[in-house]
Structure 1
Amino acid sequence: MLSHYTHENLISLLGFYEEDGEKILVYEHASHGSLDHHLSRPTLTWRQRLEICLGAVMGQCYLHDPKGTQQRVLHRDIKSSNILLEENWNAKVSDMGLSKIGPANQLHTFLLSNVVGTFWYLDMMYLATSILTKESDVYSFGVVLVKKSRDERPKMNEVVEKLKIALRFQDIFEESMNNEEIIKIAVPPLVYKFL
């Protein structure tokens, strides 16, 4: 399945090896590891966090709404440990082992499925009904507020737009901070002395 879905924000399957009952999958290397190792560290700037979120959502959006194919991929295990970071800190959605494929040519794709995934990230509606939808991945993504009703959850492309807006606001904030610092350095404070 991974060989058919290629996107800059999906981890690439490079090859596989099978011999004497041993099976090895070779994936693209993500030198910074998974996002979960970096979330509690102060090393990630807000800009990096926004860019990582945006990249992960764009990868997921591609799976939900593939262009030119009749299939939609429902990941079923979106979580911070399944978002890998390559050397430039670009996000790559990984671990498609639990994914399900459904038709993409319908407004609402849903699959009756055994509930799998990481418990804390599971969509409560999926857990209660065993009905998997693309909104289940939105719930798991955790970037948006955890809405119980599927109808109230945004589509991934809406999340992409909101993150792009947040990134633009971050740019404006950083530029304004840089301008204030430049002004402080460039204009020495005036000292008036009355005689």
Structure 2
Amino acid sequence: MEMKEFYYENGIRVSLFNLDHRAVPYHFHQSVSDMIYCAKGAINIELPDRHQIYHVPLGEVFQIPSKLKHRFANAMALGTPSRYVLMQLGEFDIEFVKNNKKMDALLEGATRFDYQQTNVYIENRKQDILALVEQFATNKPDVLDEEELNDVLIALKLFATHGVEARYPENALESA
């Protein structure tokens, strides 16, 4: 797994993850939700406390509410990489789960959901996100190659143009 953190200002955090077959560790956030765009391959979002796994294919978005334990895993065959762009709005926080074996056990026989279009909630940040598109297009972050930059630009445009300008509703994932 390779994480490229390259922007955290003005309450917006943007990073890019290249996944091999080592999953992002289980974690949760007290105050931010994770918005992802699957830029390469496919991503499984594992939610052990809910006994659920959501499959997010190439070109699709998904949002995980704050306070929900989760991790991101490569959903492709061994040896095939996946990539996602992550955006968070607000004051960043992260808490890692200490007992990964317990979390893995909760996923045994988990309900698997094929992707269904879901909303992402961008609060009132549409213009800020579009401004980032312009900024990154003009000044490529050093840590990104051209393909990764293109993925970030696509993700941010998608979040801005299709995002719901409201706070993330507490029950949004239940209706997914």
TM-score (norm 2): 0.25
Mark the structure with the bigger radius of gyration. Answer: 1
Structure with greater contact order relative to length (CA < 8 Å, sep ≥ 6): 2
TM-score (norm 1): 0.23
